[in-house]
Chains A and B, each alone.
Chain A
Amino acid sequence: MARHITAPLTPETARSLRAGESVLLSGTVYTARDAAHKRLCALVAEGKPLPFPIEGSVIYFVGPSPARPGQPIGSAGPTTSYRMDAYSPTLLALGQLGMIGKGKRSKEVIDAMVKAGAVYFGAIGGAGALLAKCGQASQLVCSEGPAPDAIRRLEVENLPLTVVIDSTGANLYETGRAAYLAWRKQEK
């Protein structure tokens, strides 16, 4: 059974999550892709305040498709996370505790996660229509440039996620594949 958790995350919750665990996330997350991360890190470098409270925050790497009238959000699946690798350590050092995306992360990011006690969740890439159903409300926080690159506050309910990398550095991309291959070898 999937465990219910709430964003923003408490340090205790973030540290208790384990790679491979299925969770349903409700609460407030912030959307940001490459350009938004670049802006956030520029603000940090200039010593300026960030447009949302970073402590305990969960950032969803997503550029949703435009919402139709009356809908809170359009299609909203994850984008590939490694493009945010250059920026994530800076935000993790400031207290960010969760990231939602898909795909591999760099050693630098994983080291920063272990230090911060943070967690990296995988959402199903390519399942944007399904994930959009979990979006309850969306509000623009900061926009310089076109819609996909905007930072949005997104209220979600029961967003289905898998813990890919936990705060100990355990990584489902390695353990999941190894477990399957070991089982397959045994079967043959």
Chain B
Amino acid sequence: MRELDAALLTETVARLCIQANLRLPEDVKERIQAARQEEDWPVARNILDNIMENYSIGGEVPICQDTGMACVFLEVGQEVHIRGDVTQAVNEGVRRGYEEGYLRKSVVRDPLDRVNTGDNTPAMITYELVPGDKVTVTVAPKGFGSENMSRIAMLKPSDGAEGVKNFIVDTVEQAGPNPCPPIVVGVGVGGTFDKCALLAKKALLRPLGQPSPLPFYQAMEAELLERINALGIGPQGFGGRTTALAVHIETLPTHIAGLPCAVNINCHVTRHMTEVI
């Protein structure tokens, strides 16, 4: 059994919170550059140029002022024993990262009394047990302009693939300019109500441009991207081709009576940073 001090988890989370908010991942940059080449509408090209200039500034200023709620994914190897309170260690990492990185504190302690916690805690943590003696830590700060445009539907099995596709396209069309297009569309299909939503969020962690390994869903992703980019919403909703950068679909087995479908929207600042400890 490998021994790991929870303090190491704190340091890692703090570092990842800062890095994720200051630097856009290369796959996202590459996808935005490719979209700029494909864009045929002048207003839209202009916006994409500004977006590229924004992430190139880099350094000390967060790419977006909404430095998000800290979504932390922990894949914990079964052969690791973590000394200390894991949840506390992660929250301490968020606290330090958001303070040291001059990141915005955007979390309220209760959804209705709305008092800011002042340190961006608690993190939204997802734990997963995996084989091995390593811990994979992913921090994905999630802005709420796009989170607010996300939806879930408990579709009927008879709705089938068409029902799923229409729900996804309709969600993007309803969102329009609100989630800061161009967007990344994370989709979960199947599972239960809760697991379906989690799948949609995890779909946003997949590197952009990496299609589903399942041929059926790979084709569906390509078809949906084309349909969404024919809506005409465009960057910032001012019109144009580039409404979405990618559609990622993740699936799970589900019940004979159900067809859950969750759509988690992310903006062009699709941030995530991973480290293995």
Contacts and interface: CB of A to CB of B under 8 A. Distances in A.
Interface in A129-182: 129-130, 132-133, 145-149, 160, 162, 164, 172-173, 175-181
B33 interface: no
A79 B232 contact: no
B63 A104 contact: no
Contact of B65 (A64, A172, A178, A179): A64
B67 A126 contact: no
Interface string B101-119: 0111110000000111010
Nearest to B51: A127
A59 interface: no
Contacts of A66: 102-104
A39 B75 CA distance: 43
A133 B269 CA distance: 18
Contacts of A162: 236, 238
Given A148-B106, A184-B232, A128 B54 contact: yes
A114 B114 CA distance: 33
Given A65-B65, A102-B236, A147 B54 contact: no
B65 A62 contact: yes
B66 interface: yes
A23 interface: no
A130 B179 CA distance: 18
Contacts of A187: 40
Nearest to A82: B178
A175 B114 CA distance: 37
Given A65-B67, A68-B102, A145-B116, A132 B61 contact: yes
Contacts of B62: 65, 74-75, 128-129
A172 B43 CA distance: 11
Contacts of A74: 61-62, 65, 102, 104
Contacts of B231: 177
Contacts of A42: none
A124 B57 CA distance: 15
Contact of A180 (B53, B102, B240): B240
B176 interface: yes
B103 A103 contact: no
Contacts of B122: none
Contacts of B143: 126
Please list the 9 inter-chain residue pairs (A to B) with the smallest Cβ-Cβ separation, ordered nearest first: A176-B239, A125-B180, A180-B239, A103-B178, A127-B54, A75-B65, A146-B116, A130-B54, A128-B65
25 contacts: A63-B104, A65-B67, A67-B102, A68-B61, A71-B61, A74-B102, A75-B65, A75-B67, A77-B65, A80-B179, A124-B50, A126-B64, A127-B50, A127-B54, A129-B57, A133-B57, A148-B104, A148-B106, A162-B236, A172-B239, A176-B240, A178-B232, A178-B239, A180-B44, A183-B41
Interface of A: 20, 35, 62-68, 71, 74-77, 79-80, 82, 102-104, 122, 124-130, 132-133, 145-149, 160, 162, 164, 172-173, 175-181, 183-184, 187
Interface of B: 40-41, 43-44, 47, 50-51, 53-55, 57-58, 60-67, 102-106, 114-116, 118, 143, 145, 148, 176-180, 230-234, 236-241, 267-269
